[in-house]
Amino acid sequence: MEQLLNRIKDKIEIESLKKRDDLYFINVKEEHIIFLLSYLKEHEGFTHLAFLQAVDFQEYNLFQLTYMLYNYNIKVNLGIKVMIDREKAEMVSIHKLWNHAWQYQRELHELFGINFPNSPNVNESFVLEGWEDIPPMRRDFDTLKYSSETFYQRPGRSTNDPKEYMREKLYKNFVEPPKIRKEND
């Protein structure tokens, strides 16, 4: 795997690398993503796109896209991460590299509002038919407000402090150990 990473580093700049057993993650710049994905598929045997996911970093005004690839020959998972602007959330489509990628792209378009120009069916509803609010997986979507305005609130429902509720329901007989006094007390 080190040889593969060195070949990649010879071709493009890697912003960071993390590894764990047979799982590697590399961060690259947006302008390198199509070249790198094509290279990995065509020359390095990463023929399987396991998934494409997004994470909303609202506080930085960025989305992180992760393309998870798998190489059956060397049995290695490789995650390629790229950050894109949240305000102009757009990424080049990879449906020509992996035919099934359009499904992931369609889902990310609907749930996060990320556009993948020229991706098949990207503008059709995937699971949210008739949705008119902001994409629900964006962190600025107020789920409590939406739920309160959309669904009937049943009488008798209450909210509990999770710490107190767990203590009462699961740890009734738990006795906290006495506090140890420090020399300064």
Q: Sketch out the chain's domains with CATH numbers.
A: 2-170 (3.30.460.80)
**Residue 174 DSSP label:** -
Q: Structure pTM?
A: 0.79
5-57 tens-digit pLDDT: 888 999 988 888 888 877 899 999 999 999 999 999 999 999 999 999 999 99
- Structure-derived torsion over alpha carbons of residues 16, 18, 24, 30, reported in degrees to the nearest 10: -20
Does residue 117 or residue 182 have the better pLDDT?
117
Please provide the average confidence, as pLDDT, over all residues in the chain. Answer: 90
pLDDT reported for residue 69: 97
Percent of the chain with pLDDT over 70: 94
User: Contact, 73 vs 100, CB < 8 A?
Assistant: no
pLDDT reported for residue 182: 63
